[in-house]
Amino acid sequence: MAGSTQTVELPNARRRRIWSRAGTTGRPPRERGDRRRSFILTLIAVLVLAAFLSPLLKSFTVAIKTSEQVTQPGSPLWPADPVTFAWQGEELPILLVPIDGTTRQLALLEPGRQQSTFIDPAAPDAPPITWQGAWRTLDHVWVFAPHWENFGKVWTLIDFPRLLFNTVAIAIIGTIGTLLSCTLVAYGFARFRFPGRGVLFTLLIATIFLPGAVTIIPTYTIFVKLGWVGTWLPLLVPAFFANAFDVFLMRQYFMTIPTEMDEAAAIDGAGPFRTLWSVLLPQAWPVVIAVAIFHLVYSWNDFFGPLIYLSTKPELQTLAIGLQRFNGIHYRDPGLIQAGTLMTLIIPVVAFLLTQRFFTRGLVVTGVEK
Amino acid sequence: MTASGAVRRRTGTRFSGLAWRRARWGYLFIAPWLIGFVLFTAFPMVATFVFTLTNINLAQETPLRFVGLENYQDMLNDKQAWAALGVTAKYALLALPVAVILPLLVALMLHSRHLRGAGAFRVLFFLPYVVPFIAGVLIWGSMLSSSTGWINAFLQGIGIAHPPAWLEDPAWIYQGLVIMGVWGIGAGVIVYLAGLKGIPSELYDAARIDGAGAWASTRHITIPMMSPVIFYTLVLGVVEVLQYFLVPLVLKNGTGEPGGSTLFFNLYIYQNFFTFQNMAYGATLAWVLFAISLVLTLLLFGLSRRWVYYAGEAR
């Protein structure tokens, strides 16, 4: 469009169309008579998707297993407990024992390397059965038994409420800063002509491609000298100085809004701030939501920042860092680790599912990953 | 009067009083970014470069002095630095094609008119993208575990008796890391999908009338029309892959195990700065990384004229 003044127009950001109604162009109408192709393709997509998301299921099954089961070879994929048989005050494990060509479920009375004795739970008073062979080669009988207690254990062990509070607080303050600063900067680039605008906008976009390593050393050093390391400030303050992704996203949206209303407002005596507040922003709420969600998820998932700035202060850390610390301590207990992992990812995932339309459209406009 | 809708006049245009007042407002509004850019980007970049010419470090036991290009010479003679560069290059060669092509394939699948429920598929393929980084690493670590992981269980199920010990074997670690990375394709899929939707359907109609099959229209319409998006994904992919190090940092505690195979270049920078507290040398490595990614990006932009097709642009 004519308003895209100069420079690095990111390819394929077909703004207006994308925001107004996504997904209708370019798709030929569905023809009749190709049900079979539909079926096959949809089936393939389901299989690929199942493989793609299977790690989540794996994590979930581990989270609701006991650690004994996770470490036991030959145990089922689903959460289960070994079946036992109460006999004279003892819990005897029930094993699958091949005897005389059939497999019987027998309770292990006396384990041995060469031979073991079993009793039949169906007839406990009958004399014990002796079986030749190594009992360790026999499989257990399992019964489905999800263990939800891992989630509760993680809640207290990791001090989940504290980490959750820190994560939410940092995310919300950062989001406020991002919304404030990016709105102003995007408004400046979208609606005002000033010498050097083209160069500055190019510079803004170029920062997307800048490797973080080239700025981190002095930045970290300055934060050390300011005494900010070990506080939230290094994570919060930069958010108030805008960032290229969100500015680009908002500017593109502002430019799709006709300028006539700005001009009308100006004639009515509205200053630039008033025009932004009462003309542009009421029309721009989808992009405001998109930027807010972007920053919330970004902040929630940020790892490197909290890692370098909060490593000495457990009481100030976020979920991401808390989870890493937790993994360092409890790595021998996969059930706990995976429970903590799921508790960390559930909120951004739900937030995304609730707002996915804004989220994906925002992503399309920048054509950029955050 | 306003920027939008006005064709930009060349500099040299005289700004009237009113225009100057508008321009001042413009500077005022972009000030937050401009100040942030100077504080958090421009100044640190210059400082990093100045550091490379000195012997500065966090403890500074020896007096601070100017050392010229000594740090760069040290780097040239540093076997570890070259090895780390090799690690990054090896991983990049494996990861880049996947990062560019896999999202395209998924997007093509999701875009097909034969697919039912495309909207739901799109959401679900994107979903892992919002999973926190550390959660993704822990989940995939469990998935790729050589004893209890589902991937090896599956491989054994289809008859591979000795599947690789993905994350413990230097011969398989990069493949393992690439597999871990597939959860990051979401954004690429969404961007590609938008590109596919933007291709005018008349082009396909015309091709069909000319007797082109599915392959021919993919080859001669889809790919050229998608080339700007592919190019964009590639450039971002290069910049990202050169900086890759967080996964190995978490997975192997930054040790570079197994056998130095995960001592990525950026991890080496991180070690030099945060572990050895050698700012000058860390800064030197950082500038070298920056120079490499700048050269590669410029090279890609230069080559892009040969294969990237911008529809509707006179070139």
pLDDT digits (tens, 9 = 90+) for B108-147: 999 988 898 888 999 999 999 999 999 999 999 999 988 8
Q: What is the pLDDT of residue B34?
A: 96
Lowest-pLDDT range of A231-240, A309-318, B252-261, B272-281? B252-261
Mean of per-residue pLDDT scores for chain B = 88
Residue found under tokens 């979920």: A319
- In this structure, the answer to whether residues A209 and A352 fall within a common structural domain is yes
Cβ-based burial of A9 (10 A; exposed 0-12, middle 13-18, buried ≥19): middle
Residue found under tokens 């890493």: A324
- In this structure, the answer to whether residues A72 and A97 fall within a common structural domain is no
Q: What is the pLDDT of residue A32?
A: 56
pLDDT digits (tens, 9 = 90+) for B210-242: 888 888 888 888 888 888 889 988 998 999 999
Span A61-68, average pLDDT: 85
Q: Domain residues of chain B, as ranges? A: 1-52, 70-307
**With respect to CATH, is domain B70-307 assigned 1.10.3720.10?**
yes
Q: What is the pLDDT of residue B58?
A: 77
Residue found under tokens 């596919």: B196
Task: Verify whether the Cβ–Cβ distance A303 to B134 is below 8 Å.
Answer: yes
CA atoms within 13 A on the CB side of A362: 26
**Of residues A321 and A68, which shows the higher confidence score?**
A321
Would residue A18 count as lying in a domain? no
Would residue A20 count as lying in a domain? no
- In this structure, the answer to whether residues A188 and A330 fall within a common structural domain is yes
Q: How far is CA A87 from CA A91, A120, A147, B21, B154, in A?
A: 6, 11, 25, 93, 39
Mean of per-residue pLDDT scores for chain A = 84
- In this structure, the answer to whether residues A133 and A163 fall within a common structural domain is no
- In this structure, the answer to whether residues A99 and A202 fall within a common structural domain is no
Task: Verify whether the Cβ–Cβ distance B114 to A34 is below 8 Å.
Answer: yes
Please tell me the total count of domains within chain A: 3
8 Å CB contact between A259 and B5: yes
Q: What is the pLDDT of residue A33?
A: 59
Domain of A336?
Answer: 151-366
- In this structure, the answer to whether residues A89 and A156 fall within a common structural domain is no
Span B82-100, average pLDDT: 95
8 Å CB contact between A81 and A69: yes
**Of residues A209 and A234, which shows the higher confidence score?**
A234
pLDDT digits (tens, 9 = 90+) for B48-67: 999 999 998 877 777 888 99
Last residue of a domain, one of A120, A140, A160: A140
- In this structure, the answer to whether residues A117 and A187 fall within a common structural domain is no
- In this structure, the answer to whether residues A227 and A132 fall within a common structural domain is no
Distance of CA A272 to the CA centre of its chain: 39
Span A120-147, average pLDDT: 79
pLDDT digits (tens, 9 = 90+) for A271-306: 999 999 999 999 898 889 889 988 998 999 999 999
Task: Verify whether the Cβ–Cβ distance B198 to A25 is below 8 Å.
Answer: yes
**Of residues A184 and A312, which shows the higher confidence score?**
A184
Span A70-77, average pLDDT: 75
The interface pTM score, or ipTM, of the predicted complex is 0.85
Lowest-pLDDT range of A330-334, A349-353, B235-239, B310-314? B310-314
- CA dist., res. B223 & res. B210, Å (int): 18
Is pLDDT of A8 > 80?
Answer: no
Q: Which of A12, A189, A194 sits opposite B198 (nearest CB)?
A: A12
Span B149-172, average pLDDT: 89
A-chain CB neighbours of B112 within 8 Å are 41
- In this structure, the answer to whether residues A201 and A337 fall within a common structural domain is yes
Angle of the B118-126 helix axis to the B186-197 helix axis, nearest 10: 150
Would residue A26 count as lying in a domain? no
Is pLDDT of B4 > 50?
Answer: no
- In this structure, the answer to whether residues A75 and A89 fall within a common structural domain is no
Distance (Å) from the C-alpha of residue B171 to the closest C-alpha of chain A? 23
Predicted TM-score (pTM) of the model is: 0.84
Task: Verify whether the Cβ–Cβ distance B2 to A27 is below 8 Å.
Answer: no
- In this structure, the answer to whether residues A67 and A195 fall within a common structural domain is no
Would residue A280 count as lying in a domain? yes
The residue among B178, B181, B183, B182 whose CA lies nearest residue B91 is B178
pLDDT digits (tens, 9 = 90+) for A32-54: 557 888 999 999 999 999 999 99
Q: What is the pLDDT of residue A174?
A: 97
Number of other CB atoms surrounding residue A347 within 10 Å? 19
- In this structure, the answer to whether residues A106 and A200 fall within a common structural domain is no
Q: What is the pLDDT of residue B8?
A: 46
Chain A residue nearest residue B222, CA to CA: A26
